[in-house]
Amino acid sequence: MLFPVAVFAQEVQRIAHVNYGEVVTAMPEYALMLDSLKKQEEAFIAELKILQDDWVRKSNDLTEQQDKLNESIKTRRTQDLIELQSRIQDFEQYAREQQEKLQQTLVTPILEKFQKILGEVAVENHFTYVLNISAILYSSPQSLDATPLVRKKLGLK
C-alpha cells in the first residue's frame, strides 16, 4: 500500500539545478552594474590621488624647510599633515562604503529579475525545487539543468 504513495511523491517532486553565477553575469544589467561601479571607483581614485599628492607636497615642503621654520610653524604644518592623513583615511572609508552602497543598489534589481524569471521557469516546468549548482555537492547525470531555460527566458545566448 505504501509503494504507490512513494511513486506518486517522486513524480510530484521535480528538482532541477541552475548555474546562478553563469546566468547573472551574462545579464546585460550585470555589465552595466560593473561599468557604473568602475566609473565611480575611478572618480574616487582620482580624488584620492589629489589628496595624496597634496600630502606628499606638504610633507616635502616641511622636510625641505624645517630648518628655516620656527617651532610653532613646524608644529602647525605637522598638525596639518596629520589632519590631511586623517582626511585621506576617512575618504578611503567613505569611498568603500559608497562602492558597497552602489553595488547593493544596482545588484538588487538584477537579482530580483533573475529570481522572477527562475520562478516562472520553475512553474512552467513543474519544478518543485531549483538549486544553485555551485552549492550542490553532487549532481547525477539525470539531474535537470534549468540554466538553458532561464537563459532563454532572459533572452541570453
119-135: pLDDT as tens digits: 999 999 999 999 999 88
Closest by CA to 48, choosing from 12, 90, 92, is 92
User: Looking at the predicted structure, is the pLDDT value of residue 88 above 80?
Assistant: yes
Give residue 3's pLDDT.
Answer: 56
Which pLDDT does position 140 carry in this prediction? Answer: 83
Q: Taking phi first (over 0 means left), then psi (-120 to 50 degrees means alpha), and beta for anything else, what does residue 17 get? A: beta
**9-40: pLDDT as tens digits:** 555 678 999 999 999 999 999 999 999 999 99
Domain count across the chain = 1
Q: Per mean pLDDT, which range of 5-19, 54-68, 79-93 is the poorest?
A: 5-19
CA distance 123 to 130: 11
Which comes out higher in pLDDT, residue 95 or 135? 95
> What average pLDDT does the segment 37-46 reach?
98
Beta bridge partners of 132: 18
What pLDDT is stored for residue 5 in this prediction? Answer: 53
pLDDT at 8 over 70: no
Cα–Cα distance for residue pair 50/11, rounded to 1 Å: 65
Q: Which domain holds residue 60?
A: 2-154
Q: Tell me, what CATH number does 136's domain have?
A: 3.30.910.20
How high is the mean pLDDT of the chain?
A: 92
Number of neighbours of residue 69 by Cβ within 10 angstroms: 14
**pLDDT surpassing 90 at residue 147:** yes
Q: Is the pLDDT of residue 99 over 60?
A: yes
Predicted TM-score (pTM) of the model is: 0.80
